[in-house]
Structure 1
Amino acid sequence: MSPPASATRPATADEELARGLVAGDEACLAAVYRRWSPLVLSLASRTLGDVKEAEDVTQQVFLGVWRGRHTYHPERGHLGAWIVGITRRRIADTLSARTRRLDLIASAGSVLLVAEAPAALPEAALDRVLVRQELAKLPSPQQRVLRLAFYEDLSQTQIAERTGWPLGTVKSHARRGLHRLRQHLAAEEHP
């Protein structure tokens, strides 16, 4: 009986790159970058419509490839498909951050319009003070996640990368922190 065809066929260059990448070979990372960065940059440029943002996404994708190389499983799919998946998530994160920035700008614009009405200004300042006080009462991890999300405009994925915490942990801290803030602020409003 002859061996299966997969056992006799030579490994493709992509399979060798994938094995080297998973093993931590930086030369393989460089080769993976040369091979797939044009595709990643093209996808990001077309979706985002901004070359600078697309370059940032490309850099983040390959940083994610390197950091997440141990999570790549060749039996689940081709290396290129895995990289495209990472690219799609980074593009989505970038679009979300862009939306949050636009919302923040719109909010700032409406605050400037409200600033012309002097009676509303003390209430807005009081609201900010109350939110800061309640935020300070939260457990440290919840505070950190919410501060990174709202003051530094980071997505949950970016917070996980910055803190080194699993994404699920970041999501849990954000959900619990927002829930506690909502409860505490509601209690302040209706004692």
Structure 2
Amino acid sequence: MTSRPGSPDQAAGTPGWTEPSQWSDAAVGRAVQAGDERGLREAFDRWGPVLHGLARRRLDDQDAQDVVQAVFVSAWRSRATFDPTRSSFPAWLVGIARHRIADALAQHYRSEVVTDPEQLHRGEATGPVGPAPQDAAADRVVLLAEIEDLGEPQRTVVRLAFFGDLTHEQVAARTGLPLGTVKSHLRRSLRRLRTRLEDDRAAR
């Protein structure tokens, strides 16, 4: 096979060899798929900031950094499954990132939904009781779908409190709602989410 400038098919120092930073996006994808660590490093440099920004919309900075790391670990381990005829390499990475973000959000919500709403209202949170590992994916789908079904302003209040890790007072300041109203929305929303999760588990 004849190597092409801009592709990872050649060894360093050979005629026509180019730096990974000069590779096309498709070439980076081919390099990762072939197990070339130069491709993985270039992919991290090229798309890591983009994926971090995507994760940061829903998670705090540390969780977003963890998501980015997990994305590239997953991409490397599952590189053989990348199919350039179905999607571009950046789009494939974004798809992995969306799953990782959903996992992080579901883990966060599992910890919150099982908390007794009255104790949460008083600031006396109980310890979380997580589901069995095999139920995690199903819980994620149920919780995220139910959150999206919340009406406004409940959905915004829940997102600010748990996606943004804001206190009740900060949520009230951000939304312009009275503090008592914010607490009421959170209390009712948590009850709804917990009930929905329990009903779904009972039906499995």
**How far apart are the structure 2 equivalents of 1:106 and 1:61?**
33
Aligned counterpart in structure 2 of residue 53 of structure 1, from 50, 63, 81: 63
Q: Residue deviations 1:157-182, cap 9 Å, x none?
A: 9xxxxxxxxxxxxxxxxxxxxxxx97
Structure 1 residues not aligned, in runs of 5+: 1-7, 111-145, 158-180, 183-191
Instruction: Please tell me whether residue 44 in structure 1 is matched to residue 44 in structure 2.
Output: no
Q: Within 5 A, what are the aligned runs for 1:136-155? A: 147-148=132-133, 155=136
**2-side partners of 1:67 and 1:80: how far apart?**
16
TM-score normalised according to structure 1 size: 0.51
Alpha carbons of structure 1 residues 96 and 81: separation in structure 2 relative to 1, 3 Å: same
What displacement does 1:22 show? 0.6
Matched, 1:65 2:75: yes
CA distance in 1, matches of 2:116, 2:68: 28
Over 6 Å off, 4+ runs = none
RMSD of the TM alignment (CA)? 3.5
Higher percent of residues as helix: 1
Q: Which amino acid aligns with 1:14?
A: D
Deviation by residue 1:139-190 (Cα, 9 ceiling, x = unmatched): xxxxxxx64468xxxx349xxxxxxxxxxxxxxxxxxxxxxx97xxxxxxxx
Q: Distance in 1 between matches of 2:116 and 2:38?
A: 46
Is there any run of 5+ residues in structure 2 with no aligned partner, and where?
8-22, 121-130, 139-200
CA displacement at 1:109 relative to structure 2:
4.3
Alignment of 1:75-114 (within 5 A): 75-106=85-116, 109=119
In structure 1, how many angstroms separate the alpha carbons of the residues matched to 2:111 and 2:134? 11
For residues 21 and 33 of structure 1, what CA distance do their matches in structure 2 show? 11
Q: Find the aligned partners of 1:13 and 1:46 in 2 and give their Cα distance.
A: 28
Counterpart check, 1:34 vs 2:45: yes
Take 2:46 and 2:119, find their aligned partners in 1: how far apart are those partners?
A: 44
Distance 1:64 1:148 in 2: 18
Partner of 2:162: none
1:20 aligns with 2:31: yes
- How many residues were matched structurally? 118
Q: Aligned partners of 1:156, 1:63: CA distance in 2, in Å?
A: 20
For 1:67 and 1:109, the matched residues in 2 are separated by 42
Q: Residue type of the partner of 2:32?
A: L
Question: For residues 43 and 103 of structure 1, what CA distance do their matches in structure 2 show?
Answer: 25
Letter in 1 for 2:111: R
Q: Which amino acid aligns with 1:60?
A: A
Q: Which one-letter code corresponds to 2:41 in the other structure?
A: A
